[in-house]
């Protein structure tokens, strides 16, 4: 696997393989391997790796899975992702998974964990309650207990006892992973034409369904390739996408935004893979504490993290400024409470800060986006028209 085209093809194929065949083969290759499916947004995959397992992201069926059974579980006014997850599971796409993790992001995901429990899906179902208390001695300790709980489940399956060394090694691998992903975003900030946002998306999403070692190898090659002056710049404005951190828009929609005249220089599509900012201490005597501290002190802002001590609107405004973006596109999954409830907070602040934005809603299974494309196109045109105006008025 050498050329960028080959890499991108591989990433797209594995990222959207609804049978998670790559992970299945990996598991079958050696006794004692476990697969743990996790839902958005974030989960500390390091701990699964250290326990001889593979954490596999489950981001719904997108526009590639017809929903029949899932609709019987969810009313029309609930977002789409839980029904497509149910469909995948009931259609046995995840039969080789040992357990499932439901990070605490919203009531829908939380209650979905209960449906899994009730239906006895998998060997274990863990709703992972991330702390909303950010003191290491309180929330941090609780978070470590949550991680220990997950490790206990895995040990019951494969008998693996995680050690400090193993955990620190896993942390190192994920630190490297995050660093390279950030490198890609940093390059794209200046040269967004070198790699389209869809390509970035495929590459990062692939990382949620293959091993960290394989993903790091891919990232290394990609990082090398995009150091070169490839592609040609186009007359597009730079935008940030915010609010699509759980249910994912279809690839066509991700593409449509760039086709409509915007370079997406940052986004939260695959927020979990980028949640921790900077490295996690990989030399600690207590690696679970290190992971916990990183979540408490170095997390990206998120709609599922209580934020009043560090308001998210200013954090997003800072990203806009740092990335030299011209505006923000708020893209929320329809009926997504966390995203939609945050919208007025962002928008009221951005009105005051003079940051341009538009907002639309999507559903993972919608592949008609003419209206959205027009809206984005008009947004890009309006920015070009006013390009001399200062936009971000924050320090």
Before 24, cis peptide (omega within 30)?
no
Query: Would you call 271 helix, strand, or coil by DSSP?
Result: helix
Measure the CA–CA gap between 374 and 361, rounded to whole angstroms: 14
306 binds other proteins (CB under 8 A): yes
- Kindly state the tokens that stand for 134: 């950010």
Q: Report the candidate in 154, 82, 157 with the shortest Cα–Cα distance to residue 116.
A: 82
Identify the residue whose tokens are 């449509």: 256
Q: Give the shortest CB-179-to-other proteins separation in angstroms.
A: 31
Task: Indicate which single residue of 109, 180, 200, 325 sits in contact with ligand SF4 (rule: CB under 6 A).
Answer: 109
Q: Which own/partner pairs from 136-143 qualify as long-range (CB within 8 Å, at least 24 positions apart)?
A: 136/289, 136/292, 136/293, 136/296, 139/296, 140/289, 140/292, 140/293, 140/296, 141/292, 143/292, 143/295, 143/296
Task: Indicate which single residue of 46, 87, 342, 364 sits in contact with other proteins (rule: CB under 8 A).
Answer: 342
**E strand segments, 111-223:** 124-128
Residue 344 interacts with, from ligand SF4, other proteins, none (CB under 5-8 Å by kind): other proteins
DSSP 201-242: HHHHHHTTTS-HHHHHHHHHHHHHHTTS--S---S-EEEEEE
Residue 99 interacts with, from ligand SF4, other proteins, none (CB under 5-8 Å by kind): none
Choice between 325 and 333, CB closer to ligand SF4: 333
Give the binding-site size for ligand SF4 (rule: CB under 6 A).
14
Choice between 86 and 290, CB closer to other proteins: 86
Q: Give the shortest CB-346-to-ligand SF4 separation in angstroms.
A: 16
108 binds ligand SF4 (CB under 6 A): yes
Stretch that binds ligand SF4, among 123-131, 252-260, 329-337, 369-377 (CB under 6 A): 329-337
337 binds other proteins (CB under 8 A): yes
Backbone angles phi, psi at 53, to 5 degrees: -120, 180
Stretch that binds ligand SF4, among 101-109, 153-161, 166-174, 248-256 (CB under 6 A): 101-109
72 binds other proteins (CB under 8 A): yes
Identify the residue whose tokens are 């003191």: 135
106 binds ligand SF4 (CB under 6 A): yes
- 370: exposed, middle or buried (C-beta count within 10 Å: 0-12, 13-18, 19+)? exposed
67 binds ligand SF4 (CB under 6 A): no
Residue 111 interacts with, from ligand SF4, other proteins, none (CB under 5-8 Å by kind): other proteins
141 binds other proteins (CB under 8 A): yes
Contact between 321 and 392 under an 8 Å Cβ cutoff? The reply is yes
Task: Indicate which single residue of 336, 355, 372, 392 sits in contact with ligand SF4 (rule: CB under 6 A).
Answer: 336
Choice between 40 and 287, CB closer to ligand SF4: 40
Q: Give the shortest CB-166-to-other proteins separation in angstroms.
A: 24
Query: Which region holds residue 259: left if phi is over 0, alpha if psi is between -120 and 50, else beta?
Result: alpha
79 binds ligand SF4 (CB under 6 A): yes
Q: Report the candidate in 217, 166, 241, 175 with the shortest Cα–Cα distance to residue 11.
A: 217
Positions in the binding site for other proteins (CB under 8 A): 72-75, 77-78, 82, 104-108, 110-115, 117-119, 126-127, 129, 131-133, 135, 137-139, 141-142, 145, 303-304, 306-308, 311, 332, 334-335, 337-338, 340-345, 347-349
Positions in the binding site for ligand SF4 (CB under 6 A): 79, 81-82, 105-106, 108-109, 246-247, 333, 336-339
């Amino acid at each position: 696997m050498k050329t960028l085209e080959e890499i991108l093809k591989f990433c797209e194929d594995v990222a959207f393989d609804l049978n998670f065949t790559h992970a299945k083969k990996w598991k079958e290759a050696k006794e004692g391997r476990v697969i743990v499916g996790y839902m958005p947004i974030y989960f500390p995959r390091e701990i699964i790796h250290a326990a001889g397992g593979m954490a596999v992201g489950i981001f719904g069926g997108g526009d590639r899975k017809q929903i029949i059974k899932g609709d019987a579980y969810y009313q029309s006014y609930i977002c789409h992702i839980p029904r497509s997850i149910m469909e995948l599971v009931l259609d046995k796409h995840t039969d080789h998974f040992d357990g499932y993790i439901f990070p605490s992001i919203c009531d829908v995901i939380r209650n979905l964990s209960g449906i899994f429990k009730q239906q006895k899906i998998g060997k274990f179902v863990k709703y992972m309650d991330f702390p909303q208390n950010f003191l290491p001695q309180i929330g941090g300790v609780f978070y470590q207990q949550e991680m220990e709980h997950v490790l206990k489940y895995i040990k019951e399956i494969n008998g693996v006892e995680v050690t400090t060394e193993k955990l620190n090694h896993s942390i190192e691998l994920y630190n490297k992973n995050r660093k390279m992903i950030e490198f890609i975003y940093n390059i794209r900030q200046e040269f967004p034409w070198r790699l389209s946002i869809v390509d970035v998306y495929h590459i990062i999403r692939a990382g949620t369904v293959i091993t960290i070692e394989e993903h790091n190898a891919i990232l290394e090659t990609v990082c090398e390739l995009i150091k070169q002056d490839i592609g040609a710049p186009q007359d597009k404005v730079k935008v940030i996408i915010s609010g699509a951190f759980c249910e994912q828009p279809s690839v066509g929609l991700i593409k449509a935004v760039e086709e409509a005249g915007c370079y997406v220089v940052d986004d939260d599509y695959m927020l979990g893979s980028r949640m921790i900012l900077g490295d996690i201490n990989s030399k600690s005597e207590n690696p679970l504490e290190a992971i916990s501290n990183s979540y408490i002190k170095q997390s990206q802002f998120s709609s599922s993290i209580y934020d009043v001590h560090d308001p998210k609107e200013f954090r997003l405004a800072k990203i806009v400024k740092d990335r030299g973006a011209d505006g923000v596109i708020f893209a929320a999954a329809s009926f997504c409470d966390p995203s939609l409830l945050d919208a007025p907070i962002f928008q009221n602040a951005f009105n005051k800060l003079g940051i341009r934005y538009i907002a639309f809603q999507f559903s993972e299974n919608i592949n008609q986006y003419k209206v959205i494309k027009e809206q984005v196109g008009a947004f890009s045109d309006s920015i070009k028209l006013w390009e001399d105006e200062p936009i971000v008025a924050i320090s």
